[in-house]
Amino acid sequence: MTTATRTTDTGRTVGPRARTTGVRLTAAVTGRVLRQLRHDPRTIAMMVVLPSILLGLLYLLWKDLPTLPGQPSTFDRVGLTMLGVFPFVVMFLVTSIAMLRERTTGTLERLLTTPLARLDLLLGYGLAFGLAAAVQAVVTVAVATTFYDLDVAGSLWLVVVIAVVDAVLGVALGLLASAFARSEFQAVQFMPVVVLPQFFLCGLLVPREQMAGWLQAISDVLPLTYAVEALQEVGRSAAGTGTLWRDVGVVAAVALLALALGAATLRRRSG
Amino acid sequence: MDAAVTVTDLVIDRGRRRVLDGLSCAVPRGEVTGLLGPSGSGKTTLLRAIVGVQRTRSGQVTVLGCPAGAPPLRTRVGYVTQAPSVYADLTVRENARFFAALYGRGAREADTAIADVGLADAAGQLVADLSGGQMSRASLACALVGRPELLVLDEPTVGLDPVLRAELWDRFHALAAEGTTLIVSSHVMDEAGRCDRLLLLREGALLADSTPTELRARTGTDDLDEAFLTLVRSQPGVAA
pLDDT tens-place string over residues B125-164:
999 999 988 999 999 999 999 999 999 999 988 878 888 8
Residue A2 Ramachandran class (φ > 0 left, ψ -120 to 50 alpha, else beta): beta
Cβ pair B103:A268 closer than 8 A: no
Q: Which of A21, A31, A110 sits opposite B81 (nearest CB)?
A: A110
Name the pLDDT band for A115 (thresholds 50, 70, 90).
very high
Spatial CB neighbours of B236, under 8 Å, sequence gap ≥ 6? none
Give the residue from A135, A150, A155 showing the smallest Cα distance to A82: A150
Q: State the pLDDT at residue B237.
A: 57
| CB-CB neighbors (< 8 A) of A111 in chain B | 102
Q: ipTM of this predicted complex?
A: 0.87
User: How does the average pLDDT of chain A come out, rounded?
Assistant: 88
| CB-CB neighbors (< 8 A) of A271 in chain B | 13-15, 54-55
- CATH architecture group of domain B3-76+149-233: 3-Layer(aba) Sandwich (3.40)
Rounded to whole angstroms, the Cα distance separating B110 from B100 reads: 6
Interface check for A268 against chain B (CB to CB < 8 A): the answer is yes
The three-state DSSP-derived secondary structure of chain B is: CCCCEEEEEEEEEECCEEEEEEEEEEECCCCEEEEECCCCCCHHHHHHHHHCCECCCEEEEEECCEECCCHHHHHCEEEECCCCCCCCCCEHHHHHHHHHHHCCCCHHHHHHHHHHCCCHHHCCCEHHHCCHHHHHHHHHHHHHCCCCCEEEEECCCCCCCHHHHHHHHHHHHHHHHCCCEEEEEECCHHHHHHCCEEEEEECCEEEEEECHHHHHHHHCCCCHHHHHHHHHHHCCCCCC
User: Residue ranges per domain, chain B?
Assistant: 3-76+149-233, 86-147
Q: Considering only CB atoms, which residues of chain B are within 8 Å of chain A?
A: 13-15, 49, 51-62, 66-69, 71, 74-75, 77, 79, 81, 83, 85-90, 94, 98-99, 101-104, 126, 142, 146
Cβ pair B126:A12 closer than 8 A: no
Rounded to whole angstroms, the Cα distance separating A266 from A156 reads: 37
- Closest chain B residue by Cα to residue A121: B102
Q: State the pLDDT at residue A6.
A: 38
User: Residue ranges per domain, chain A?
Assistant: 22-62+73-266
Q: State the pLDDT at residue B236.
A: 66
- Closest chain A residue by Cα to residue B58: A5
Task: Provide the 8-state DSSP code for A210.
Answer: G
Spatial CB neighbours of B73, under 8 Å, sequence gap ≥ 6? B52, B63, B64, B66
pTM, to two decimals = 0.88
d(CA A21, nearest CA chain B) in Å: 9
Is the model's pLDDT at B215 over the cut of 90?
no
Interface check for A192 against chain B (CB to CB < 8 A): the answer is no
Give the residue from A10, A68, A61, A87 showing the smallest Cα distance to A263: A10
